[in-house]
Structure 1
Amino acid sequence: MTEKQKMLAGEMYNPSDPELMKERHRVRLLFHKFNSLSEEHMEERNKVLYEIFEGAGENLFVEPPFHCDYGSNIKVGHNVFMNFNCCILDVATVIIGDNCMFAPHVQIYTATHPIEYKLRNSGKEYAKPITIGNNVWIGGGAIICPGVTLGNNTVVAAGAVVTKSFPDNVVIGGNPAKVIKSINNN
């Protein structure tokens, strides 16, 4: 397996692999361009945005600055809004459903490292995918950790650290996040 195949399969891989470094460099050039374009250049900014998020749904709006690892591992639905300073470490797949809103400083991390120091010091890492359902609102400064799935209609409180998955129709918050209440969406 190539290092990229290992990475996408959730196995330990070497992030210094030349192919992976090239892909990260490509997207860094794109989001640097995106982040530097003013609102006077919205058409060009949107074009660059859809180069970062190939195949994204309609009505994607991202406030710069934005940062990610690859871009190509992020699957975005329709009507998605990401506010200032969103960072998505998309070493594994990140799926974002329709009608999602991210407040400022939302962090989504698929990348992780071994807890055993000898293995961690080797420089190798791995990742776990993240899935965000439809109609999800993530509050400012929230962190979504590797391997998390957020159900449809979930609301994540500002500052929450989400370390495990949650079902549909709940408000979650805290560190680590827990269910604060259920939502009646009938």
Structure 2
Amino acid sequence: MEKDIYTLIDTALKIGLGALISGSATYFVARHNSSHEKAKEERAFRRQILQQAALKLELAHFKLDEATHPFWAHVANKDATPLTSVHEDSLKHNLDARNIISEARALITLLGILPLRKSLLEIEKDASKIYEAVAKNEVFKQGTKINDIHNDVRRRLGECIETLGNHELA
């Protein structure tokens, strides 16, 4: 009888230890998978925001082109479009570009890419200079300066997009 009790205790201990080991292993595997899944979701979220910001910067690039090209087309082609209409279109496209850059800057700030945020603030200031020249009807008077600012802004937007691409790869 004494042997039966020892056998029973032995069996109970083996079952209990087996359950404890199995439960612990299951817990740690589930915890590891959960943290891995969370990191995967965070990477996907970051990639999605980077892509949104890059698309916004590309759209801003396009809008800034739209803001300045009507003037040069007007001059080159002796376009019959009234100059006031060209001014209005230019102001609208420039404002759209600045708003889009601001949206991209917010996304970039969310990701914590602060040097890029600073670059976009400077780009917005330069786009504002173009806007002011158009609003003051000084486009033709300041044509070379506006072209230089526009080309510099386009170059820096391209650099920002490239930087975003490098952050996605990291």
Normalised by the length of structure 1, the TM-score is: 0.26
Larger radius of gyration: 2
